[in-house]
Structure 1
Amino acid sequence: MPSSEFTLGANSYGKSGIRLVRVGRESPRHELRDLTVHTALSGDLDATHYTGDNAGVLPTDTQKNTVYALARDGIGTVEAFAERLARHFVDRVPSIGAARVRVEEHAWDRIGEHSFARGDGGERRTTEVVYDGRAATTTSGVRDLLLLNTTDSAFSGFLVDEYTTLPETDDRILATAVTATWDYGTAKPDFDRAFAAARGALMEAFADTYSLSLQQTLYAVGERILKAIPEVAEVRLSMPNRHHYLFDLGRFGLDNPGAVFQAGDLPYGLIEGTVRREAA
């Protein structure tokens, strides 16, 4: 039991990093789904914290096994699969009052009827479903979508003080790894269609925008996503600036007409923001 001095606050437990690959063999043209699933359960769990009584604890290993078992008959959209899992845990386990399930899908490119390839970009489609026994809310998005413009990007007119060394430029490489999320709430659109529309809008906005700052590009991306998926009220974006520095070839007696760059790693600029739809 809790002491008079301390008490338990918000808590959850679950299994993270459940790696699941499912092959659809219903036809000679196989389908491949590659997911990483994370579960988090909360509810009437005071006893296990205060006394070690585990009667209400569904083991995290059981949660892992449930992910594989429910994948047996198909995945569907990642949103639908996450909701199936969340409802399973809450509706079947009396001690569990809420479940949060996150799913990341790793993209593979088809190169044959049963052959696939994946690069090192790391792009993932993401979703998170929270179910409390009454309603399921869905947040979806994309993570680490690598984008790069070789021109049509500038950065000038910024604040200068005694520690500023960055030169202004009217032509630079703009590269980023976009992470974007948007909330559907309890709406149930065609999730695959909505994701494809949002991802396409994101890439089009990045390509179409003459960027005077990465912040300007972030806003343009968010605005375009909101236009593409009317069920969504806001988009949250994280866009690290993957710096590319023009390499000095002058010391070798060579010019560099904007052709050779050194790709930076750390540190990097990180631009984050939210773009909202105006309330009616």
Structure 2
Amino acid sequence: MRRPALAAVLLILALLPCPSWAWTLFFESVPVAGYTLPGLVGAPYVERLALTRASADGVVPQVTASLGLAGKTSTIAVGPCGWKLGTQPAMRLEIASDRTAALNLAAALGYVFRQSAVLAADFDDPAADAVYGVVKLPPGPVDPVLTHRFYMHAAAIDRILDGGYSTVPEGLLFLDLGRSDPDRFLASLRRAAETFGEADVKFVRSGKAKAVLVLNNWDTDPEGGAFRHRFPPSLVTLLDQAAARNQAIIDRLAERFRWRPPPLAREAEPQATTTGP
């Protein structure tokens, strides 16, 4: 191709509209139900990260394609997140869609990865009612040990902050899902950043988001019905195929990292949870 023609093509591409990310999804792939993996309970963060990255590369694109959303999502970002005073590797995915498609994708991901909750947030909704604050981290790769320690420090400052955090490009996102006391929430987060002595962190901004937790209680609904009911049987079949692929990933890593119990171990083993990196 001649240079003038190439320049014209590049100019046209530059003028094409970029996707407008309407919703951001936050989710994990370490299963909360359906697997007996005692070795995963206290597994090092790096092992749980290996599972998360493998799921991000090998499963999430299959899920988005099943819902007809190929090309409408961002690159998957992986980083630490906090939930119930524990820290796990998690994924962040942005999607250019309406609310229904975003929540359907959240449900599909929750179903495939056997999660109790997937968080969907719209940071541009004029009716947003959940306040959030962002804490900037020191330059360099995000350290899950540091983020967990800050999370514990913040929760010690005020239990209103113990609901969790997510990793975003600017640092750590604390979202007030309880919608209880916005002024107290932000004031406590500022104080946590100012008094954290282990690293130079800074409270950099706040705002409001429309936040929705898409949920399923696997104890009372072991088939994932709260997720499945959104989809026709044909789509559930595709999601089951994605879940099978994720199970193969878990089986491979369970063998590699020795997460499974010995053959003669009792059937009733603790489920995979964690309290820190």
Q: What band does the TM-score fall into relative to the shorter chain?
A: under 0.3
Q: Which has the larger radius of gyration?
A: 1
TM-score (norm 1): 0.27
Could you say which structure has the greater relative contact order, defined with CA pairs below 8 angstroms and 6 or more residues apart?
Answer: 2
Whichever structure has more helix as a proportion of its residues is 2
